[in-house]
Amino acid sequence: MQRVSARQILTLSFLASLFTPAMTLADAVNTTVGTQDENREKKVNEVVSSIIDNRGVLTSKGTFIFEPSFTYTHSSATVVAIEGFTVLPALIIGLINISQAERDIFNYAITLRYGLTSRMEVSLKVPYIDIDESIRERQALDGTPVDIVSDTSGDGLGDVEMSVNYQLNDGLNGWPFFIANLRVKSDTGTSIFDLDRRQLVNDDGDVLGVIFDEQPTGSGFWAYQPGLTVLYPTDPAVIYGSISYLWNEKDDKGAEFGGEIKPGDIFGFSFGIGFSVNERTSFSLGYEHNVIDKTEVEFAPDLEDASFDRYHSGSLLLGISQQTRGRNLLNLSLAVGVTEQSPDVQLTFKMPFQF
């Protein structure tokens, strides 16, 4: 029979708060540490209380959890667009336009979670998004020292999410814990198809690009994401892994935007390990990777041909969790992008309250 120590319980709770759905820890303790006293069981039930973006920890039957969270994301990119012809391998005649973009996203969210049974929970996440973006444009061969700078921002309700998590097994006899999950993302946020746009032009009237008057807070498409999480306690650590597939529903956005649009689906996986430093403190290390297919546009085949078939977004993950005197968990996680398509940095803070 597989035993779950008190430190592993805290680590499992922490991993659930940072990465993927975990087991029903109260049941795990009842089946693996049956000789522990009632105070230990009560402590375990109180410790389990956290969730991150699109993932959850299974909540005890009849338990309600209210979780405020804050996520800050910073992204930057430099794009060089070339329109011209090559005379020699290192010599290009034509227009070279260099664009630099900086984006800061502030995500304030409330997550409500409820345990339907000892192995199933449902949750609802309502985000409020605040975005600031700055774009700097310059023609490299134009000889001008002046940059064209455009600042835009936007805020409002994001895409509301609903999810269901189900524990498939009890993790006995040396087996890891398997958690199935399904997330549904709505289109309640303001998308790019709802915003006004304007052209960026230089002093000579040349069009450098198109920007939005304000930033979107949603994708404009419904999406569905099934997934599977595996957690394996091995004292004094817990090893985790997960896979998921996000399917975006296509929608007709009108001829102005290219007709029927199908955003690229996303295959994702993550893995890592968590440690419990003591009865109150845990930390974890991990890696997350997403493979994003290209977007299909009905009336823009040239745009599809010019894009890559897929993009890769990878991030290194670091998390810290501290149990307070009130037996709540303070969760802090950091994601650092390691591929060009990943955000530079993402910082998340969460604190769940159990009722």
3-state secondary structure (DSSP) of residue 198 = strand
Structure tokens at 50: 């956290």
Give the pTM: 0.78
Q: How far is CA 11 from the centre of its chain?
A: 21
pLDDT for 14: 53
Contact 76, 100 (CB under 8 A): yes
Shortest CA distance to 246 belongs to which of 53, 74, 14?
A: 53
Shortest CA distance to 259 belongs to which of 267, 250, 268?
A: 250
Quote the CA–CA distance of 247 and 54 in Å, as a whole number: 14
pLDDT digits (tens, 9 = 90+) for 239-276: 999 999 999 999 998 888 888 999 999 999 999 998 88
Quote the CA–CA distance of 241 and 22 in Å, as a whole number: 11
3-state secondary structure (DSSP) of residue 17 = helix
Q: How many CA atoms lie within 13 A of 290 on its CB side?
A: 18
Quote the CA–CA distance of 251 and 123 in Å, as a whole number: 26
Please report, to the nearest 10 degrees, the dihedral formed by the alpha carbons of residues 72, 231, 327, 281 taken in order.
-70
Q: How many CA atoms lie within 13 A of 322 on its CB side?
A: 5
Contact 179, 168 (CB under 8 A): yes
DSSP secondary structure string, 290-330? Answer: EEEEPPEETT-HHHHHHS-SEEEEEEEEEEEEEE-TTS-EE
pLDDT for 207: 65
Contact 232, 200 (CB under 8 A): no
Q: What percent of the chain has pLDDT over 70?
A: 69
**Domain spans, the chain:** 6-60+153-354
Shortest CA distance to 276 belongs to which of 242, 235, 317, 232?
A: 235
Quote the CA–CA distance of 256 and 298 in Å, as a whole number: 11
Contact 4, 32 (CB under 8 A): yes
Averaged pLDDT score across all residues of the chain: 77
pLDDT for 1: 44
> Distance of CA 273 to CAs 80, 222, 249, Å?
39, 32, 34
pLDDT < 70 stretches in the chain:
1-57, 78-99, 137-148, 200-210, 301-308
Structure tokens at 72: 């800050």
CATH class of 6-60+153-354: mainly beta
pLDDT for 48: 34
Parallel, antiparallel or unpaired: strands 120-139 and 161-167: antiparallel
Cis amide leading into 236 (omega within 30): yes
